[in-house]
Structure 1
């Protein structure tokens, strides 16, 4: 049982956020691993890139699909227990994958099992914890927790690439399993269920603050009930479409295929992983800044800028010479914009659907993010296998970014009203 009191008073909210930051960071490292494993698995087993991409696509899709159910499960089963169970699942599945010898086993472990496990330690966890533990600085804290995915790539990608280059794919999966296992006791002992569980109010809450009543519905009922209410509004579908494109243009395309694309141009894997790590550094800056901006400016206009610039940069990349200067400029620019979309999207979802439904609805919106990522992961792999290049995949993703920019500016602020009968 969690002790009835903790140090720091209301500022313990920052300790809870730190624990969640670490869990999100590790899960992000796990989700970025298939990009590092692609070439080592190709060399070790002779699997083609389309088959290897399929496992990444399944994992990304389930990562997103799990989100809304995880958010509802956190309300009925508890945040601490849900996250601990997810970490155990990820540790077990990645360790088990060290014994694989067939593509279907890669799909089962890194696709299905890690997809479900990491889906509970994703953006919906950040949204749930921020809404529970903070009244002030929600945008900033959501930006920081969103940036943990970049930090996970920053810390883990170069190390995983070095392990893969020195010892093949197996040391990578065992290292990921060890990190997940180490986080289990950290979450269990340091993450209280709510501020009230340690006799506190959320950070910045006034004296008369009343916490939203906890939902009594099960995970399935809570998840689908929130979806049914949200799906009748235009706001939900515009946010869903935008986040579909967000996933398509980030972890599905760049996250999965950037290392392999750089290899096509003669860049070593460690250098390509360093490029993604550089993106991680600047995404940490960009997403945190996006949270700060979301507290002060219209989130729709921020999304318009983010998606528009992202689309233009993706269309430009294949036409560069892939020199050190060109790739560094792309990494800095794209890193600043990588998941800067999260804080304004969470803000709009909370405004439209409230503190209780908001995290669950955001889970469904995040499912759109991962559906887009899965689409890009498998489609780009197929295009590369058939055309021998990634040009068409990047141009199409860039055009989708421009469409998402227009869709974002069409969103209405405030509580969402049903637009459909």
Structure 2
């Protein structure tokens, strides 16, 4: 009997151990939670315009300038952060970045002058958040995955929306009921709470735990630390900037940032309040954008694995521009069905642009794609910074945001045309 069983087993082949979930998915989960914690601070700027204006008498242009510095540094820091991750490791860079965010947000409770807002919220939080930008998601994806990269990029990008979804209604309630200072402290504590998870669970490379990247057919050794992070980031920029593709990607992504972080995230709440909508209701609408952003971004990652990235981007930008043209007639004291439709649609399209943009960077720039994407992201944030500042200035000058909505819609149409002329890379 034993002999027969042995012969049968030999025919069936060796018994395979049950398949386990690849550690890459756990690393992606930690990165997801990390970005959620860092995203908490991004929920606050749009809630600060009215409280700071009422308490200190600062103009919306002044407050918008601080947000502009924040957004600009968020983008400009990203490529250097990607290079620093290659030098010192993901875990160290991200832990320090979260701590800087916590400090910058926390000490704002003692500010009394506009320059202190610029220093704390603009410089410190901008630098910290820039190190937690999407270049971090690109680095994790490139190191831990060779398959499902588009899907993972979409999931990690959606983490930022999840942070907004979790914290925006809470922060809005805190600001309304208790003041803006407890809200700033809440952001600080949220960032600090993530640091232990990063330090204990976020491994830098699959080789650290003796694994291949997800989907890899052969072992991938961990590369040696790359010295001269700043020089490398600048060298990659110099090389990429000689190509037309880089400028098309950077220009279109600048418009993406202008029409999302710079426009809607920063100015939607004060614009809705101008029309009589209560601040908590407007904040809840932004939270709904966060819900559908998760769906749209993950779906975009799935689409990017299957369809041409250029065409996806053109569709995303064109539809976004059309929706912005209708926004001025939708703003009202009450939340009506057309406004809900706009919010759902804009949420689906919010950062759906990220997976195909990153795919084009990877397609055109190979091993340097994470740093190139960091520079493209810098343009995204510079566009956001420009509109964050100009939007507040336009509100002070014209008494409404209408001109900003229309101009942003036209820019999105231009972005759709820009991505269509990016050349395709033919496989060898």
TM-score normalised over the length of structure 1: 0.94
| CA deviations over 1:33-77 (Å, ceiling 9, x no partner) | 111111111122221111111111100000000000000000011
Q: 1:101 aligns with which of 109, 112, 115?
A: 112
Q: 1:37 aligns with which of 48, 54, 61?
A: 48
Pairwise CA RMSD: 1.4
Say whether 1:308 aligns with 2:318.
Answer: yes
Say whether 1:153 aligns with 2:168.
Answer: no
2: distance between equivalents of 1:253 and 1:247?
8
Is the Cα–Cα contact under 8 Å of residues 59 and 111 in structure 1 kept in the other structure? yes
Residue 22 of structure 2 aligns to a residue in which SS? helix
2: distance between equivalents of 1:249 and 1:215?
37
Is the Cα–Cα contact under 8 Å of residues 238 and 411 in structure 1 kept in the other structure? yes
Say whether 1:220 aligns with 2:230.
Answer: yes
Is the Cα–Cα contact under 8 Å of residues 288 and 343 in structure 2 kept in the other structure? yes
Larger Rg: 2
Name whichever of 391-400 and 88-97 sits farther off: 88-97
1: distance between equivalents of 2:348 and 2:118?
32
Structure 2 portions without partners, runs of 5+: 1-18
2: distance between equivalents of 1:120 and 1:313?
32
2: distance between equivalents of 1:236 and 1:140?
23
- Equivalent residue number for residue 298 of structure 2: 288
- Equivalent residue number for residue 93 of structure 2: 82
Name whichever of 167-176 and 407-416 sits farther off: 407-416
Say whether 1:261 aligns with 2:271.
Answer: yes
- Equivalent residue number for residue 389 of structure 2: 378
Is the Cα–Cα contact under 8 Å of residues 351 and 415 in structure 1 kept in the other structure? no
Counterparts in 2 of 1:41-52, with a 5 A limit? 41-52=52-63
2: distance between equivalents of 1:16 and 1:210?
17
Is the Cα–Cα contact under 8 Å of residues 95 and 195 in structure 2 kept in the other structure? yes
| CA deviations over 1:246-271 (Å, ceiling 9, x no partner) | 00000100000000000001111110
Q: 1:329 aligns with which of 327, 341, 354?
A: 341
Is the Cα–Cα contact under 8 Å of residues 311 and 402 in structure 1 kept in the other structure? yes
TM-score normalised over the length of structure 2: 0.93
Counterparts in 2 of 1:22-421, with a 5 A limit? 22-206=33-217, 208-211=218-221, 213-214=223-224, 216-320=226-330, 322=332, 323-354=335-366, 356-414=367-425
How many equivalent pairs are there?
407
Is the Cα–Cα contact under 8 Å of residues 10 and 201 in structure 1 kept in the other structure? no
Is the Cα–Cα contact under 8 Å of residues 275 and 327 in structure 1 kept in the other structure? no
Residue 307 of structure 2 aligns to a residue in which SS? coil
Give the CA deviation at 1:32: 2.6
Give the CA deviation at 1:209: 4.1
| CA deviations over 1:322-349 (Å, ceiling 9, x no partner) | 3421221110010000000000000000
1: distance between equivalents of 2:338 and 2:301?
28
Residue 255 of structure 1 aligns to a residue in which SS? helix
1: distance between equivalents of 2:81 and 2:102?
18
Structure 1 portions without partners, runs of 5+: 1-7, 417-421
2: distance between equivalents of 1:369 and 1:130?
20
- Equivalent residue number for residue 8 of structure 2: none
